[in-house]
Structure 1
Amino acid sequence: MTTPKAPQKDAYRLILDAIDAGTYRPGDRLVESELAERFGVSRTPIREALQRLETQAILTRDGRSMIVASLDHNQLAELYVVRGELEGLAARLAARNATPEEIRVLRDMLEADRALVDDPDAMARANRRFHKQIHLASHNRFLVRQLDLVHRSMALLASTSIAAEGRGARTLDEHETIVTAIEAGDGEGAYAALREHISSAFITRLKLDAQKVEAARL
């Protein structure tokens, strides 16, 4: 009797998830042999995954090496503009298309996340889950695909804006406004609330970046 083969690990997803989790951060060098050993995958799929991530601008080349890319100020601004529009559209469609069960899940997430307000890393993960649930509740597969690309680029940010003092609590207040609008079937209200949420996060990040620049000068 033939023993069934173990499923092949997806090298691309493994590397992408590691970047998203902060295992590899902007500026970190990725070495084929080390990645192959870490993930238990041969070097050929690792090499193919690295090339794919380079074409998506998640990785950039430094001589013969690959490093995790970083975003400059202009790229960051461009990313938040696109994110705000697409996230807002997802909220508008969720207000129109979400099932009662999906709205219940959003509400349950919001309530559970209140226990995480003093843990920035846990809040950041919860925030990603919350936004992903809104994407799915839009019931538009093409929009979900584009938002997945945007959120991959968000992984190139070295820190989370939720780490700023008071940002965790404000994030939950903003999530409350978004969920309330979706529950009410208020598409324009949901769009505006999520756009404002993204704008607030961008302002916080700009302030954090400015503080880092000032600290580096001292």
Structure 2
Amino acid sequence: MAEPRQPQNDAYSLILAAIDHGTYRPGDRLVESELAERFGVSRTPIREALQRLETQSLLARDGRSLIVASLDHNQLAELYVVRTELEGLAARLAARHATAEEVRVLSAMAREDRALIDDPNALSRANRRFHKQIHLASHNRYLVQQLDLVHRSMALLATTSLAVDGRGADALDEHDQIVAAIASGDGDGAFEALKMHISKAFETRLRHDAASAPGE
């Protein structure tokens, strides 16, 4: 008896997770047959998932092929503008609505993530979990949905700013400031602390990209 086919949403989630985890990086070509074999899904839901990802601008056309999209300078700047405001709002709402348990979880994350300071990839994953916890602590489902879309686009960045020398330690110090503001119920302070955190990450990325650009 044949195994039941997985629904399209499963194929979509599997490909999205692979992009998010760096299995497929900007510029990588995605082939239906290879994806179907990798994930054990028939080609029809894979094709539908690829179409959906292309509609969301996570994939782009390269001739007849689909590749993981990349962000140019203007797209990156636009993304960070939106991310900064939405993340700041999430922190403000978390300061108002987070439960004592949620605050303790955030505090534990900020403390335990210091053990990952020498592993930028692991620290990047932990950083995403930390920010997701703030989103959830806002207790606003519509904001969480929008931030999920923003962070989905962040997967199109080939590198993490946390890999830049010194940025990891600074980012963790900033996490401590964010948690302290949320724990004290200081909505304005949490908003400003998280906005500054994202602003510094963006500046670090811009400096890194400028330094890595080929000379003329």
Percent same amino acid at aligned positions? 75
Q: Which residue of 2 is the match for residue 173 of structure 1?
A: 173
Q: Which moved more, 1:43-52 or 1:59-68?
A: 59-68
Per-residue deviation, 1:63: 1.7
Q: Which residue of 2 is the match for residue 16 of structure 1?
A: 16
Alignment size in residue pairs: 213
Q: Which residue of 2 is the match for residue 117 of structure 1?
A: 117
| CA shift digits 1:46-79 (9 cap, x unpaired) | 0000000001000011122100000000000000
Moved over 4 A (4+): none
Code of the aligned partner of 1:85: E
Aligned counterparts of 1:77 and 1:101: Cα–Cα separation in 2: 35
Code of the aligned partner of 2:6: Q
Aligned counterparts of 1:113 and 1:165: Cα–Cα separation in 2: 17
Code of the aligned partner of 2:19: I
Q: Which residue of 2 is the match for residue 132 of structure 1?
A: 132
Per-residue deviation, 1:7: 7.7
Code of the aligned partner of 2:191: Y
| CA shift digits 1:9-61 (9 cap, x unpaired) | 60000000000000000000000000000000000000000000001000011
Per-residue deviation, 1:142: 0.3
On the 8 A contact 2:92/2:186 being kept in 1, the answer is yes
Tell me how large the CA RMSD over aligned residues is.
1.3
On the 8 A contact 2:84/2:198 being kept in 1, the answer is yes
Code of the aligned partner of 1:118: D
Structure 1, unaligned stretches of length 5 or more? none
Aligned counterparts of 2:103 and 2:4: Cα–Cα separation in 1: 38
Per-residue deviation, 1:6: 6.0
Structure 2, unaligned stretches of length 5 or more? none
Which TM-score applies when normalising by structure 2? 0.96
Which TM-score applies when normalising by structure 1? 0.95
Q: Which residue of 1 is the match for residue 142 of structure 2?
A: 142
Per-residue deviation, 1:146: 0.2
On the 8 A contact 2:32/2:47 being kept in 1, the answer is yes
| CA shift digits 1:140-163 (9 cap, x unpaired) | 000000000000000000000000
